[in-house]
Structure formats: C-alpha cells, structure tokens
Amino acid sequence: MSIEIRAIILNGLEQRIEPLNAARTAATVPSRGWLRAVREAIGLTQVRVAERAAVKRQSYAQFEAAEEKGSISVASLRRAAEAMDCELVYFVVPKAAVARTYSGLAEIHDPSAKHLKATEHSIALRGRAPDSRAADSGKEPG
C-alpha cells in the first residue's frame, strides 16, 4: 500500500479516535455478555429472540454462551442484535497502555511512521493550499 494511501487512512482514523476512546469506557461488556443483558433488560425470552432471529432456541442460547466465552462470530452477534431491534457497533482502538492514538500506535509498530506522518502533513497542506488550476483557468480578474 502506498504511503499516501496509508496516510489518508491514518488521518481518517485519527479523526475518530477521541469519541472512540470516550466510548471505550462506556462499552465495557456486561459480565454475562451484551446479548443476555439487553434481552433480559427489554423483557424478551430466548424463545422470542430465537423466533425473531429465525433460529431454534438452543441455537440462540449458544449465541449467548459463545458471547460470554468470547467466541461468538460477528455475524451471529449481528443477527442476535437485530432480532432485538438493536444494531451491532464495534471498533478497534489502541490499548490505552500502549498508545492513545492510531498515529502513536503506528510510530511504535512501523519504522517508516515518521515518513507517514510527514506525508499526512503534506496531504493536509495540499488540501489547504490555493488551487493553482483556478489561477490557470484563463479567467480575467473581475
């Protein structure tokens, strides 16, 4: 992947890092998992959620057990969430003990990160620079 594309991706991630870091603490997984906590909180039985997810109750029970063990697939988690009129929202953020930003993480893991940061800065400057094409368009000043 080119350094410019990586810089664009990194810049996009950096723009999201503050709300994601804030959400990290709010998104602590309940002790028995999100599926069970939400299902019980909204008053649904496993049978009802299973019907809405078009699976057998035993299959839905396996979803909850798999989530509690940390082995549920994203597809199954999404399916169960949708059956409860919820949506799955997930994200990956740097470990707080390692880095607070994706740029900080890149600097730790990638020897070319300094070049990546310089490229990111150049791209940002290009976006702010006057468009030289407008000056070359042949339009006479007003």
Q: What is the pLDDT of residue 66?
A: 98
DSSP code string of 35-103: HHHHHHHTT--HHHHHHHHTS-HHHHHHHHHHHHHT---HHHHHHHHHHTT----------TTT-SSHH
Residue 101 shares a structural domain with residue 79: no
End-to-end CA distance of the chain: 44
pLDDT at 5: 87
Query: What is the pLDDT, as a whole number, of residue 39?
Result: 98
Query: Which residues form the domain of 99?
Result: 3-16+93-129
54 occurs within a structural domain = yes
pLDDT for 128 equals 58
Examine the domain organization and report whether 59 and 105 are in the same domain: no
Distance CA 135, CA 60 (A): 64
For the entire predicted model, the pTM comes to: 0.71
One digit per residue, the tens of pLDDT, for the chain of length 142 reads 777 888 889 889 999 999 998 898 888 899 999 999 999 999 999 999 999 999 999 999 999 999 999 999 999 999 999 999 999 999 999 998 999 999 889 888 887 766 666 666 666 677 654 444 444 444 444 4
- Does residue 97 lie within any of the structural domains? yes
Q: Is position 23 within any domain?
A: no
In this structure, the answer to whether residues 43 and 77 fall within a common structural domain is yes
Q: How many domains does the chain have?
A: 2
Q: Is residue 138 part of a domain?
A: no
Domain termination residue (choose one: 64, 83, 102)? 83
Residue-level pLDDT at 124: 67
Would you state the pLDDT for residue 24? Answer: 87
11 and 53 co-located in one domain = no
